[in-house]
């Protein structure tokens, strides 16, 4: 299979990627493409395989089948590489790192030795702190910042090495609604202004709807991808889930609800997880 891409906008291509973890198939022939300047949502419930897809892209997990194509020069530890913000980062309040130190580690944290004072390094860090609206708390201990502030610092850490691809695993989890909006708006702006491909995983697509250019919807290890309007339709999602699924649109929000026929208790639970409890 030749995956060489003639389209200069294409940053990452997954073609027919399957992964088995301890005998269980968690990903079934996943295919999607990420393009520069676009924000793509990777939507699925807990355990749908979102983190596994990130690990495959980062090269931390081998794909048993299929191919992963990355634009040359895009890879871990290389510059420009892949920026990555994992789902949970627990920061000790006594950790002797200021917000700006964390961002600086994104630049050269994989290098040996003690960093030398450099004006260029300081400028790059300051510029990135400005880009995520974090200049106001750049000198605070990172472990004592709020969840939303920490998230912005981790995004700055991931972006400071100027990657072509930014991966964020559930960046909206545990954030209040205001921080949620701030983070989504920030990511959308960064994707546009810096022309990078952004892949964001989430179990609820609604906060991402206004900003998301494309969606990769994961269920049962399979994926459907395209624009939100192409994918979030009863026919497409019913095929993905393997049974009847309804899509309810309420003003600018979307609820995906499993049909009552033949659905098990576990599936019902899933439907509730997707639905916004505030609207039920």
Partner 1 sequence: MRLPIPVWSEGRDRTRMGSIFGPGFFENSPVQVALIVGTVVAAVSALVGVFAVIRSEAFSGHALADLGAAGGSGAFLLGVNQLWGFVVVAAVAAGAIDLIGLRRPRGRDLATGIVLGAGLGLAALFLYLDTTSSHTTGAPVTILFGSIFAIDGSLIPVIVGLGAVSLATVLLLYRMLLLTSLSPEMAAAQGVPLRMVGVGYLVSLALAVALSAMTIGAVLSTALLIGPAACALRLTKRPAWALVLAALIGIVITWLSIALAYDSYYWPPGGRGWPVSFFVVALIFTVYLVTRLPLGERCDRRPDRAPARLAGG
Closer Cβ to partner 1, 138 or 202, answer by number? 138
| Per-residue contact flags (x/-) with partner 1 for residues 48 to 67, judged by CB under 8 A | ----------x-x-------
CA angle 183, 185, 188 (to 5 degrees): 105
In 3-state terms, what secondary structure has residue 103? helix
Strand partners, 24: 21
Dihedrals φ, ψ of 33, to 5°? -130, 140
State the residue for tokens 């599936």: 267
| 113 versus 277: smaller Cβ distance to partner 1 | 113
The yes or no reply on residue 89 touching partner 1 (CB under 8 A) is yes
Residue closer to partner 1, measured from CB, 140 or 209: 140
The CB-of-101 to partner 1 minimum distance in angstroms stands at 6
| Rounded CA separation 34/53 (Å) | 13
Determine the length of the chain: 280
Told to check if 265 binds partner 1 by CB under 8 A, we report no
- The residues near 254 (Cβ < 8 Å, ≥ 6 apart) are 205, 206, 209, 232, 247, 248
Among 88-96, 173-181, 228-236, 241-249, the segment contacting partner 1 (CB under 8 A): 88-96
Q: Could you identify the residue written with the tokens 């309007």? A: 229
Name the one range near partner 1 by CB under 8 A: 39-47, 80-88, 190-198, 216-224: 80-88
Distance (Å, whole) CA 165 – CA 13:
12
Alpha helix ranges (H) inside 20-176: 50-58, 99-108, 119-131, 147-159
The size of the interface with partner 1 (CB under 8 A), counted in residues, is 40
For partner 1, which residue of 67, 98, 121, 233 counts as binding (CB under 8 A)? 98
Angstrom distance (rounded) from CA 40 to CA 219: 16
Q: Which of 47, 73, 136, 147: binder of partner 1 (CB under 8 A)? A: 136
Q: For partner 1, which is the closer residue by CB, 120 or 249?
A: 120
Q: Where in 161-180 is the site for partner 1 (CB under 8 A)?
A: 167
140 part of the interface to partner 1, by CB under 8 A:
yes
Instruction: Please give the residue ranges that form the binding site for partner 1 (CB under 8 A).
Output: 58, 60, 76-78, 81-82, 84-86, 89, 91-92, 94-98, 101-102, 105-106, 108-115, 136-137, 139-141, 144, 154, 157-158, 167
């Amino acid at each position: 299979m030749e995956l060489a891409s003639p389209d200069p906008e294409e940053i990452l291509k997954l073609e027919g990627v399957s992964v088995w973890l301890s005998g269980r198939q968690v990903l079934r022939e996943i295919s999607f493409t990420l393009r520069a300047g676009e924000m793509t949502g990777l939507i699925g419930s807990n355990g749908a395989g979102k983190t596994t897809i990130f690990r495959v892209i980062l090269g931390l997990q081998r794909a048993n089948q299929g191919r992963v194509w990355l634009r040359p020069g895009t890879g871990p530890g290389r510059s420009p590489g892949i920026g990555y913000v994992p789902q949970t980062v627990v920061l000790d309040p006594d950790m002797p790192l200021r917000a700006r130190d964390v961002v600086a580690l994104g630049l050269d944290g994989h290098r040996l030795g003690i960093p030398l004072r450099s004006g260029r390094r300081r400028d790059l860090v300051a510029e990135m702190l400005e880009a995520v609206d974090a200049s106001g708390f750049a000198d605070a201990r990172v472990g004592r910042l709020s969840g939303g502030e920490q998230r912005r610092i981790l995004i700055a850490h991931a972006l400071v090495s100027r990657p072509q691809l930014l991966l964020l695993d559930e960046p909206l989890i545990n954030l209040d609604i205001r921080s949620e909006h701030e983070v989504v708006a920030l990511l959308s702006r960064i994707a546009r202004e810096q022309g990078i491909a952004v892949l964001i995983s989430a179990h609820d697509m609604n906060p991402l709807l206004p900003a998301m250019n494309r969606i990769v919807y994961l269920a049962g290890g399979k994926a459907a991808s395209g624009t939100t309007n192409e994918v979030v339709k009863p026919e497409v999602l019913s095929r993905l889930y393997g049974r009847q699924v309804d899509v309810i649109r309420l003003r600018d929000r979307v609820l995906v609800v499993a049909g009552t026929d033949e659905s098990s208790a576990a599936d019902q639970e899933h439907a509730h997880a997707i639905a916004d409890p505030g609207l039920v």
